[in-house]
Structure 1
Amino acid sequence: MRDAVRVLVVEDEALIASFVEDALSDGGFETCSVHSGEAALSTFRDGREGCRVLLTDVNLGAGITGWELARRIREITPGFPVVYMTSASAPDWKSQGVDGSVLIEKPFAPAQLAAAVSQLLAAGV
């Protein structure tokens, strides 16, 4: 049996982060959660967690946005799989999101998260 794929979850709201972690775990994924774009970038650059997918909220409070975080990660690792979560910023996805990314609008069902991650991995994005 192969190891579960590890997902870097970036969500500044603790309750939503917990919901996302549980949903991904139920879908067979492992998570590494952080609460800011800066912490996510540091975790990604460090590489200790071995994350293979980025699942980020777009609006992360102060600091860099999910849009900017994904662009910076793609500068380091082109083609890295990205899933965005948002409620208010969905219309900006076409202009702000990285190529080949997936957007999930809040509120969403737990199964949508695992499905989006699986879709990206299957597509080899």
Structure 2
Amino acid sequence: MDNTVRVLVVEDEALICSVIEDALLDNGFEACSVHSGEAAMSTFRDGREGCRALLTDVNLGDGISGWELARQIREITPDFPVVYMTSASAPDWKSQGVDGSVLIRKPFAPAQLAAAVSQLLGGGAVPG
């Protein structure tokens, strides 16, 4: 049985998305990448990908923001692990972020990314 943990990655910049995918892969995770909040919501609702955590950029262009995406996902799965990535919106995390989420600032080291996801998944924050 495959025990690889899949992470739903939402990042609208292809280069950054590629770095994130590599960082996750290097640390034993699998990335399921989409480029908008709407695509992420549809993937999450679909459930086929079996993602166990959300790693989202806060500013996703014209559609829903990473803040809004995480809120919508948490309405469906209240304890779903959420990691936000942002450069400019970090001060808004306290008011906009969902409870128990983690925020990492861009630019970040790939190891920081994997550590944040591991912390949420393995740190006892997620029952099951």
Report the TM range for the smaller structure's normalisation: over 0.9
Which residue does 2:33 correspond to in 1? 33
- Please provide the CA RMSD for this pair: 1.0
2:22 aligns to what?
22
In structure 1, the partner of 2:74 is: 74
1:4 paired with 2:4, answer yes
User: Which string of whole-angstrom CA distances, capped at 9 and with x for unpartnered residues, describes residues 80-114 of structure 1?
Assistant: 00000000000000000000000000000000111
CA distance in 2: counterparts of 1:69 and 1:111, whole angstroms: 24
Extract unaligned runs of 5+ from structure 1: none
**CA deviation vs aligned residue, 1:47-75 (integer Å, no higher than 9, x gap):** 00000000000000011000000000000
Deviation at 1:124, TM superposition (A): 2.5
Residue in 2 aligned with 1:64? 64
TM-score w.r.t. structure 1 length? 0.97
Q: Which residue of 2 aligns with 1:97?
A: 97
Runs of 4+ in structure 1 over 2 Å off: none
Segment drifting more, 115-124 vs 91-100? 115-124
Q: How many residues align?
A: 125
Q: Quote the offset at 1:3 in angstroms.
A: 1.2
- For residue 124 of structure 1, what is the amino acid of its counterpart? A
Equivalent residue letter for 2:61: G
Q: Identity across aligned pairs (percent)? A: 85
CA distance in 1, matches of 2:3, 2:113: 19
Equivalent residue, structure 2, for 1:124: 125
